[in-house]
């Protein structure tokens, strides 16, 4: 059943109070809801780009992306009970669930203004959802582990600080698996699909173009447009999974991703929405490269 607005507000207030008092925030139970959440593969920008004066290009370089990130919740069937985030910035030997006793931020970027290392996003952890994630992966014979010390990296807190600035939605982070096998990450997504009917929004955080050496060059614009066209077509293709498994053979695929960690969160999102149509949810050209977000379901 969909939460009445008053109940959502009450949970948010209770969470905020618990955080202020240094207590664990109350957890929303994992249960079936009346609506199915989509899955979203989003671009998380460049470091803390949304929270600083941008000097490596036009000052509004990241403005449109930031505005779109801020509009995500309004586009959903309802505010999620929890977020499950797969970030490009965490790889582990097996699928690893971050279960911090007290969530903190991992400022895994360098060379940015001092204030960007003081950002806050105190969203509560979601132990019940973390347990459910491990159970679902286990049922699919996918090896898992837990991590308690690591903080949420900037692939989590930078975009979601715009989507949920009040940090009132319980959050779980799941690692990529070393080796970055697209088929393995599609399988992880398939295993996690039931979460969508339990009020959990599955978010893949990366960049659809991520060739750091070519940003702001003519080659970046040509390659990113070519690969983006392939991604757009692939999102709604009936053989989507097979195409994604062979992404490196796509036009400008490897040129757009010399290393694929920023693309792999897409595989989890696509796998969790197998059978659902995908489409571009946002697109822009930043630093002379086309970058898109994809939504499934």
Indicate the number of domains in the chain: 1
1 belongs to a structural domain = no
6 belongs to a structural domain = no
- Contact present, 122 and 167 (Cβ < 8 Å): yes
Helix (H) or strand (E) segment spanning residue 65: helix 63-75
Looking up residue 174, the CATH number of its domain turns out to be 3.40.830.10
285 belongs to a structural domain = yes
Predicted local confidence at residue 12, as pLDDT: 40
List the 171-177 sheet strands across, edge first.
144-147, 95-98, 171-177, 82-92, 200-206, 39-43, 289-296, 278-286
Predicted local confidence at residue 34, as pLDDT: 61
28 belongs to a structural domain = no
Q: Which of 88, 84, 90 is nearest to 40 (CA)?
A: 84
Which residues have C-beta within 8 Å of that of residue 128, sequence separation ≥ 6?
A: 27, 29, 30
240 belongs to a structural domain = yes
15 belongs to a structural domain = no
Distance in angstroms (rounded) separating the CA atoms of residues 226 and 218: 13
Predicted local confidence at residue 103, as pLDDT: 81
Q: Tens digit of pLDDT for each residue in 163-209? A: 999 999 999 999 999 999 999 999 999 999 999 999 999 999 999 99
11 belongs to a structural domain = no
CB-side exposure of 229: number of CA atoms within 13 Å?
7
Q: Tens digit of pLDDT for each residue in 6-37? A: 333 433 433 333 333 233 444 444 556 668 99
Residues β-bridged to residue 199: none
DSSP 9-52: HHHHHHHHHHHHTTPPPPPPPP---SS---EEEEE--STTGGGS
Quote the pTM value: 0.88
24 belongs to a structural domain = no
Range of the domain at 255: 37-296
Rounded average pLDDT per 10-residue block, the chain, 297 residues: 35 36 40 81 97 94 98 98 98 95 90 97 95 98 96 97 97 98 98 98 98 91 97 97 98 98 98 97 96 98
Distance in angstroms (rounded) separating the CA atoms of residues 118 and 256: 32
The angle subtended at Cα 48 by Cα 46 and Cα 53, nearest 5°, is 95
């Amino acid at each position: 059943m969909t939460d009445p607005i008053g109940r959502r507000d009450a949970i948010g207030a209770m969470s905020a109070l618990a955080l202020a008092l240094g207590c664990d925030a109350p957890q929303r139970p994992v249960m079936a809801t009346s609506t199915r959440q989509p899955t979203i593969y989003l671009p998380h920008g460049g470091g803390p780009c949304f929270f600083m004066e941008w000097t490596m290009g036009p000052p509004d370089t990241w403005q449109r992306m930031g505005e779109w990130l801020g509009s995500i919740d309004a586009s959903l069937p309802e505010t999620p009970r929890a977020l499950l985030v797969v970030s490009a910035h965490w790889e582990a030997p097996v699928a690893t669930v971050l279960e911090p006793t007290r969530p903190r931020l991992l400022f895994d970027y360098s060379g940015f203004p001092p204030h960007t290392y003081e950002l806050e996003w105190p969203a509560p952890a979601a132990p019940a959802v973390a347990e459910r994630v491990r159970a679902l992966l286990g049922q699919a014979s996918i090896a898992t582990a837990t991590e308690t010390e690591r903080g949420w990296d900037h692939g989590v807190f930078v975009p979601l600080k715009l989507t949920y600035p009040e940090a009132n939605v319980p959050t779980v982070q799941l690692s990529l698996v070393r080796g970055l096998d697209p088929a393995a990450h599609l399988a992880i997504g398939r295993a996690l699909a039931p979460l969508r009917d339990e009020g959990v929004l599955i978010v893949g955080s990366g960049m659809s173009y991520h060739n750091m050496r070519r940003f702001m060059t003519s080659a970046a614009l040509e390659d990113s447009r070519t690969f983006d066209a392939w991604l757009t077509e692939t999102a709604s293709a009936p053989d989507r999974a097979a195409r994604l498994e062979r992404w490196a053979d796509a036009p400008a695929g490897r040129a757009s991703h010399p290393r694929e960690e920023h693309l792999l969160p897409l595989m989890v999102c696509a796998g969790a929405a197998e059978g659902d149509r995908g489409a571009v949810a946002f697109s822009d050209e930043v630093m002379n490269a086309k970058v898109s977000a994809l939504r499934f379901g």
